[in-house]
Chain A
Amino acid sequence: MNRDEIKECMEQVHISEEMQQEIIHNLHRQMAGGKRRRSLGKMAAMAASFALLAGILTISVQAAIMSIVRERMENISKEELSGLAEMLRQQPVNSDTFSREYTETEKMREKELREAYKNGLFPEEEILLVDSVEQAPKNRLSYARDVSCFCLPEREMTDEELLEMIDFQHTMAYAVSQASHTSKPEEEHELQEQEREAQQQELWESVQEAGGIGESEAAEIAKKYLETTLGLSTEGLNLLSVNLLDIKGSDLNAEIDIAYVVTFHDPENFAICFLIIDAVNGSVLSVNGN
């Protein structure tokens, strides 16, 4: 491929008139309603429902996930939660995928059901978990653990199946947010803590040598990024931790391959958010969550 071919190829790509009109229509509607969807609003709303990372985004969008959902989450056994958290930890991919696209009516119903879920409409059954996509039954909703894929039936999904999926997404998010509280045998925990501290010290020495920033500065940059770049409120968020991380081998570009991972916790929405910050120049490399 050469320079001209890239240009020629992109010259053929155009927004459809339909999408353009829809955008104008939505903007007018928002203006007429006197309120604009916040930046990343739709994503925030979805993230709220999924409660993944996203409490950060959701604070200003939704006051809270309804307490009835929280109660449901709190009733899940510790074993089940730790099993789920472990499953997520081991997954090689960092996002859920779907075996097919939603149909238009599924999209519509899913949106309505997410709202209903928050008000206490729960599925009767739990989603079927299978080890791999190959094991997924053809005409039944399931979740393949190995590649974090929702295997959707070829037919239109029922409300029950959509609710099972919504419920499972809530449960996964809750499991992750609770994982840090899992207790370990004291001795093992102490050893791991010593090891972690030694690693942190080593990384910190490299950061100092390169004239890098400190923990508090990293936390401040993260907070400011959420507020100014993403336009989000950080009120109600807890700073959970600030750790150094060796990012050699990752696709992140940092000056000396060391970054801070600044983690915020949104207790209201059981959500966590990680910002990865270059330990030398303080630039935000990634906003992430799980």
Chain B
Amino acid sequence: MSIEEAVIKYSDMLYKICIVMLCNEQDTQDVIQDTFCKYLERKNPFANEEHEKAWLITVATNNCRNILNFRVRHPKVPIEKLAETLVAPEQRENITELLSLPVRLRTVIYLYYVEGYQVKEIADILKIKEAAVKKRMQRGREQLRLLWEE
């Protein structure tokens, strides 16, 4: 796959997860850029498309976490303002609520409910324990007042 094809295929998916984690367009672009740099340098072939996608998410989320842990970031944008640029007015409240969760919680919530990954898969992607994923899911749901059954 050429780099154009890879960017076109995966950048939208990476953008969503990075913007959810970082709440900042410029940091998000940096992370996507770095993720594709690593993708270009990777020598081992992927087992399949799912493996490729999960690998990209792992690299991107690691980069996001590193950015979040370092002091230096691009100037912050208030979440409400960011929400205005991301979604239509009727969804602004929802996305603001999601982005207002602590980053660890909104990341697992996103991977589970939007990307459709299972708990074990999320644990593998984020390199954390399944118990930690479950705990974060529970806290995230509580905070989002999510009412559906597991």
| Residues of A participating in the B interface, judged by any CB pair closer than 8 Å | 1-3, 5-10, 12-15, 19-20, 22-24, 26-28, 30-31, 36-43, 46-47, 50, 52-54, 94-98, 100-102, 229-231, 251, 253, 281, 283, 286-290
Q: Taking the nearest CB of chain A, how far is it from the CB of B53, in angstroms?
A: 15
Q: Which residues of B come within 8 Å of A, CB atoms?
A: 3-4, 7-8, 11-12, 14-16, 19-20, 25, 29-30, 32-34, 36-38, 40-41, 62-63, 65-67, 69-77, 86-88, 91, 94-95, 97-98, 102, 104, 109-110, 113-114, 127-129, 132, 135, 144-148
Chain A residues, CB < 8 A from B41: 36
Among residues of A, the one whose C-beta sits closest to the C-beta of B94 is A9
State A43–B34 Cα separation when bound (angstroms): 10
Residues on A with beta carbons closer than 8 Å to the beta carbon of B135: 253
Instruction: Assess the B91–A43 pair: CB atoms within 8 A.
Output: no
Q: Is A23 in contact with B147, judged by CB distance below 8 angstroms? A: no
How many A-B contacts are there with CB distance less than 8 Å?
159
* CB–CB B34/A6 < 8 A: no
Q: Smallest distance from the beta carbon of A93 to chain B beta carbons, Å?
A: 10
The complex places the Cα of A19 from the Cα of B128 at a distance, in Å, of 31
Please pick, from A6, A23, A47, the residue contacting B113 in the complex, using a CB distance under 8 A.
Answer: A6
Q: Would you list 18 pairs from A and B whose C-beta atoms are within 8 A, ordered by A residue?
A: A1-B98, A1-B145, A1-B146, A6-B113, A8-B94, A12-B87, A14-B15, A19-B25, A23-B7, A23-B36, A27-B3, A27-B7, A30-B37, A31-B3, A47-B71, A95-B73, A251-B102, A289-B69
Chain A residue at minimal CB-CB distance from B18 = A15
Q: Which residues of B contact A14 (CB under 8 A)?
A: 12, 15-16
Identify which of A1, A6, A13, A47 contacts B72 (C-beta below 8 A): A47
- Nearest CB in chain B to that of A173: its residue: B71
Q: Indicate if the CB atoms of B66 and A46 lie closer than 8 Å.
A: no
Q: Is the CB of A102 within 8 A of B98?
A: no
Q: How far is the CA of A42 from the CA of B29 in the complex (A)?
A: 11
